[in-house]
Structure 1
Amino acid sequence: MKDVLLILLLQLLYVPCFTLRTIFIVKQLHYHAASLGFVESLIYVLGLYLVLNGEQNLIAMFIYALGFGVGILIGISIEQKLAIGYTSLLVNLPNKNQLLIDLLRNEGYGVTVYEGEGRDSQRFKLEILTKRNQEDGLFSLIEEYEPNAFIISYEPRKFKGGFLLKTMRRRKIKRKNEIENTYM
């Protein structure tokens, strides 16, 4: 019974490492991926050793597989909380909502506005780049000021130049300090 619990624990460690390593490879975080690969392989060999050299009963094999499935869920959950990388939002608006555009810019987001022609009318498209961990807040902000917005989110793989997040952070800190000084 002790071996079965150890197998489950090892799988719950191994598979999140595997999941995160795969994500790190996709996001080109090579050193993070290599480090996790080392840990992952140690855990994998030990777990497999326990399964194959133990009594080889069906319960141990079932627990191994169960741990693998649950480990995937844990790995995905960890990655979503880390929210590594950037996201780009394309926001289609029926009207040019200058209040929303100004608010987004004042909040430190770089916003590029395009004017286009839809099937029935003129449309406006906003292009916004932000960190993935800020995506939900950005969605909420847009929905609050423009409930009819059509929003598409995707992850850019590489980018260079432009209104980068370092500048956005400095601007946000400056704005926060201005607000605090106003109320003091």
Structure 2
Amino acid sequence: MKDILLILVLQLLHVPTFTLRTVMLVKGKSLAAASLGFLEALIYVFGLSIVFSGEQNAVTMLVYAVGFAAGLFLGTLIERKLAIGYTTFQVITKTKNMDLVEGLRKEGYGVTLYEGEGIDSKRYKLDILTKRNQEKDLFQKIESYEPSAFIVVYEPKAFKGGFWLKSMKRRRKKAQTS
């Protein structure tokens, strides 16, 4: 029974570590990914040694699989909580809602406004870059100004220059002088 519980706990450690390592790798954070990979391999080998050294029965294998599934779920929750990286909001509106644009800019968001043609009238597109951990707040702000907006959120792989990087540099300098 002790081994079965240990297998479950190890899977609950191993799989979230695997999930976070994968995220770090995709985000280009090589050192963090390598560190998590080391931890992941250690947990994995230790767990497998327990599985293969004891009596292999259906219960052990089932607990291993249940631990794997629960670990995936836990890893996903942790990753969402950490919300590492950035997202770009693409907001399409039927009107040129300058209250929305100015309101977001006052709150520190970089907003680029475009005018285009929809199937039956003009449409306005806003591009807004934000940190992933601010997605929910930004979504609510947009909806409060423009409830019928069409919103698409995606993750940029990389970006360079522009308002966002300048404002991050200003905040970093301000933090260093404080």
Q: What is the TM-score with the length of structure 2 in the denominator? A: 0.93
Q: Distance in 2 between matches of 1:165 and 1:12?
A: 37
Q: Displacement, 1:168?
A: 6.2
Residues 153 and 23 of structure 1: CA distance in aligned 2, closer, same or farther (over 3 Å): same
Q: Percent identity?
A: 63
Shift in Å, 1:55: 1.1
Matches within 5 A, 1:160-171: 160-164=160-164, 167=167
Q: Which residue of 2 aligns with 1:107?
A: 107
Instruction: Read off the aligned partner of 1:98 and give its amino acid letter.
Output: M
What displacement does 1:166 show?
Answer: 6.0
Q: Determine the C-alpha separation between the residues in 2 that align with 1:130 and 1:36.
A: 26
CA shift digits 1:140-181 (9 cap, x unpaired): 00001100100000000010000115616968xx9xxxxxxx
Where does residue 97 of structure 2 map in the other structure?
A: 97
Q: C-alpha displacement at 1:35, in angstroms?
A: 0.2
Q: CA RMSD in A?
A: 1.5
Instruction: After the TM superposition, list the runs of 4 or more consecutive aligned residues in structure 1 that deviate by more than 3 angstroms.
Output: 168-171
Residue ranges of structure 2 left out of the alignment (5+ in a row): none
Structure 2 CA distance for aligned equivalents of residues 137 and 169 of structure 1: 23
Q: May I ask how many residue pairs the two structures share in their alignment?
A: 172
In 1: Cα distance, 2:66 partner to 2:74 partner: 12
Query: Contact conserved, 1:110 with 1:168, CA < 8 A, in 2?
Result: no
Whole-Å separation in 1 of the counterparts to 2:159 and 2:101: 22
Cross-structure match for 1:154? 154
Gaps spanning 5+ residues in structure 1: where?
Answer: 175-184
Structure-2 change in CA distance of 1:99 and 1:168 (3 Å): farther
The TM-score with structure 1 as length reference comes to 0.90
Following the alignment from structure 1 to structure 2, what is the Cα–Cα distance between the partners of residues 168 and 142? Answer: 22
Matches within 5 A, 1:115-154: 115-154=115-154
